[in-house]
Amino acid sequence: MIFRKRELTGYAFISPWLLGFAVFTAGPFLASVYLSFTRYDIVSAPVWIGAANYKHLFHDDPLFWRSLWITFKYALVALPVGMLAGVALALLLNLELGGISVYRTVFYIPSIVPVVATTAIFMWILNPQIGLVNALLERLGIAGPSWIMDTKWAFWSLVFMSLWGVGGSMIIYLAGLKDIPATLYEAALIDGASAWQRTRHVTLPMLTPVIFFNLIMGVIGSFQYFTQAYIMTQGGPEDSTLFYALYLFNRAWRYLDMGYASAMAWILFIIVVGLTIIIFRSHHRWVHYGD
């Protein structure tokens, strides 16, 4: 009886969160399943149309495939580059040098700057007329491109900008490096291992659990990429930066096609879950937990 009372007291304390989860997360999540099979414009009641939204997506909507490809390409390019940069920075900042804490702070600060502020700064940096990048290139005698205004460079400009916030993953890698037992390095030194061999055979294998975590979070984040493209390019020029999440937003709030957007959201959900499962099933081949 006492245990039952304590149990009810516990549920009473967490009831505000449970209520919020049911109303603002679980409720909309389940409602979107139904809405994906309807034609719904917010103003009028949903009209059941079956799988018409999904059929139109796969057969009659070239922007769906284009936005999906752009998002996949971003995940295939920006995610590995960002992870490599994060690991490399962490290895450098793990060195015991004077003033190293200052450098760690400098490289971490950009990751906590609000995304909107960062995007506004890069709109100036990449401005073809008055931007900092083209000004530096001009000093070297190089005519800089139009960056976000050029179909050939807009996508790569966003990839370049993604490196600005690499300090967020860098600090996680750094924490992982600090957790590697010093005895492993001592044993490697006794065996005559060089710095590169210690990095390859000790550091990187022991860092794979952290890499695995950042890979999962990076995949999810890449497929939700929205804010930077929305502020800087609105999907242009010529849909060269029309990411999936941005196209979903346009269908939902620009065209008020909520049923269609719900179908897109569920396809995105299935893709992300599928990729996450693939990574989880393969992790035992390359992730080492030190045991």
pLDDT range class, residue 291, cuts 50, 70, 90: low
- Distance CA(275)–CA(262), nearest Å, equals 20
pTM as predicted: 0.90
pLDDT at residue 11, rounded to an integer = 86
How many structural domains is the chain composed of? 1
Say whether 175 sits in a helix, a strand or coil: helix
Within-domain flag for 107: yes
pLDDT range class, residue 46, cuts 50, 70, 90: very high
3 pLDDT exceeds 80? no
Within-domain flag for 7: no
pLDDT at residue 289, rounded to an integer = 82
pLDDT range class, residue 273, cuts 50, 70, 90: very high
- Distance CA(64)–CA(84), nearest Å, equals 30
**What does the pLDDT look like over 236-267, one tens digit per residue?**
899 999 999 999 999 999 999 999 999 999 99
- Distance CA(112)–CA(99), nearest Å, equals 21
- Distance CA(200)–CA(208), nearest Å, equals 11
- Distance CA(157)–CA(77), nearest Å, equals 12
**What does the pLDDT look like over 214-232, one tens digit per residue?**
999 999 999 999 999 999 9
Q: Which one-letter DSSP state was computed for residue 42? A: S
Within-domain flag for 115: yes
Say whether 47 sits in a helix, a strand or coil: strand
Average pLDDT value for the chain: 92
Nearest to 198 by CA among 187, 214, 208: 187
Say whether 39 sits in a helix, a strand or coil: strand
Within-domain flag for 43: no
CB 264 within 8 A of CB 57: yes
pLDDT at residue 10, rounded to an integer = 85
Within-domain flag for 82: yes
Within-domain flag for 13: no
CB 220 within 8 A of CB 74: no
The tokens describing 107, both together, are: 């490289």
- Distance CA(166)–CA(92), nearest Å, equals 14
pLDDT range class, residue 2, cuts 50, 70, 90: low
**What does the pLDDT look like over 129-162, one tens digit per residue?**
889 999 999 998 888 899 999 999 999 999 999 9
pLDDT at residue 84, rounded to an integer = 95
pLDDT at residue 288, rounded to an integer = 87
50 pLDDT exceeds 80? yes
pLDDT range class, residue 235, cuts 50, 70, 90: very high
Amino acid identity, residue 279? I
1 pLDDT exceeds 90? no
What CATH number is attached to the domain comprising 133? 1.10.3720.10
State which residues form the domain around 274: 57-285
pLDDT at residue 97, rounded to an integer = 82
Whether residue 28 is preceded by a cis peptide bond, meaning omega within 30 degrees of 0, is no
**What does the pLDDT look like over 65-100, one tens digit per residue?**
999 999 999 999 999 999 999 999 999 999 888 888
Within-domain flag for 50: no
pLDDT at residue 290, rounded to an integer = 66
Within-domain flag for 278: yes
